[in-house]
Structure 1
């Protein structure tokens, strides 16, 4: 007789064949009730269809077939226009080139509605075909309206956003400035701010920062920013263009002399640099003369505040004339 072994509750039983106890059935739990689906939101009312005009065509157009309609286009022969074209030529790369906007001419070829600076730059480089967006057969009035619409409603990118984009693009100059700001605890916002809503140690003087770094070097800018941060740790709007330019130039002028932190800090707390700049403007008719005068005035105040026994800074405006930077 065959035997069947069944394990139950930790004990193995040997039962004869035909007398096997069926295993206990486990009752499955009842499924939870499924909630009724929520009613879909009512459909939004769509705006009535309107005429969007003919769909534009993307194409490559021969550079020799492009023409300018002078009745509404800008004059690119100005100093500013030529500078823009020269910059495009110097830095031309396809990732930086936006397609121009064109329409057909009655005679032959195409009118350039938007992008004549890019077109001229591409022609100067010797590019034979240019990417373009073709708007089908616009009249001269429609071309002018398109030109005004494209250029008049274009949102310009501010210098602060461009700086942060260039840092992300690993531009060497922008990366250097970002490293200096991080080292000194100074920040540059991503958009323009009023001084009344800016944060402490935040500066809008991005052009002055780059000028000081280029003219006087990284060490001068680092010294100037650290000094301003230490003197005005909790006051917003104090890292101004005037302060950055003056203090960077001051450091460059006296790089070979010891400058005591406590003394120069006390001078800055006592001096209004904007007022000092106004006094310099009254005393000198050009920026070249204003810079040495302000450095000399700051050095004089520093020497007066210097404790006895410390070495004073030499003050000779003639020796300061070579210090660059516009104040």
Structure 2
């Protein structure tokens, strides 16, 4: 579905003072500089991001670098130093740039505006774009959920609008997909879908899924033994376990213990319940023939 640009619901500003019009041109990377008086330092995380851009470099994903002319025939990078570094790694000598005349003060203000006032892209929007592009991680995450009769959502919804089987925990599903645990996740989600409690949207919240999937994935024999996990979910009070975990974690934090995760505690309690309900059956060694 294609949408036209429609601004009929908005008002035109009383005063429009856009400043000098930008120019688009290719500029040699050796002529681009970074002004440390307002630009961010490149730390380990930034270099990892640059490497990821370089590893998957495509011009179709490269937006023009935002620059301003400075002394010596050079151009200060206001936005796009990650992209520029990645292009240099790939051996390109030039990058497309949007050039705007501005003072140093305006450069700093523009940097703050571009990086601080930008509309945040949600994980759902990233997943939707990746799924449309056929990226493997997105296709696999979508399949993991669909095979369980559930759906990994490409948009956010209010609490009242959420329905059973709708999953918004994209980062969680992706983390298991990347670890090769997709089959176990599908098993857990299908069991939740088949349970009576799974007919309630609240059972598909991120809180429940985080604790439940952790407990199930740590016990792969549940899937191999084809246990009645749906029946267990109807008997076990997951919300009570999560509440107890939160109380315990809060108490430990008051005592000065940091790094206490209520999700790990809740997953441990769910896991204990699973171990009691479905003891792992260990195959006996085969008798040797005399």
Q: TM-score, normalised by structure 2?
A: 0.76
Larger Rg: 1
Secondary structure (helix, strand or coil) at the match of 2:151 reads coil
State the distance in 1 between where 2:138 and 2:12 align: 47
* Structure 1: unaligned runs, 5 residues or longer: 1-44, 304-311, 316-327
Query: Corresponding residue for 1:313?
Result: 280
Secondary structure (helix, strand or coil) at the match of 1:299 reads helix
Contact 2:153 2:168 (8 Å CA) reproduced:
yes
Q: Which has the higher contact order (CA 8 A, sep 6+)?
A: 2
Contact 2:70 2:76 (8 Å CA) reproduced:
yes
Deviation at 1:57, TM superposition (A): 0.8
Q: TM-score, normalised by structure 1?
A: 0.69
Deviation at 1:160, TM superposition (A): 0.9
Q: Is residue 117 from structure 1 mapped to residue 82 from structure 2 by the alignment?
A: yes
Contact 2:25 2:98 (8 Å CA) reproduced:
yes
Q: 1:252-267 maps to which residues of 2 (within 5 A)?
A: 252-261=220-229, 263-267=231-235
Q: Is residue 79 from structure 1 mapped to residue 57 from structure 2 by the alignment?
A: no
- The alpha-carbon distance between structure 1 residues 50 and 155, as it changes in their structure 2 partners (threshold 3 A), is closer
1:256-315 deviation per Cα after TM superposition (whole angstroms, max 9, x unaligned): 43413464233335774424655886899777x869844641224425xxxxxxxx4369
Q: Is residue 58 from structure 1 mapped to residue 24 from structure 2 by the alignment?
A: yes
Query: Corresponding residue for 1:108?
Result: 73
State the distance in 2 between where 1:56 and 1:271 align: 56
State the distance in 1 between where 2:12 and 2:222 align: 70
Point out the structure with the larger helix share: 2
Deviation at 1:50, TM superposition (A): 4.3
Q: 1:61-210 maps to which residues of 2 (within 5 A)?
A: 61-76=27-42, 78-136=43-101, 138-210=102-174
1:73-92 deviation per Cα after TM superposition (whole angstroms, max 9, x unaligned): 1112x222222212111111
RMSD between superposed Cα atoms in Å: 3.3
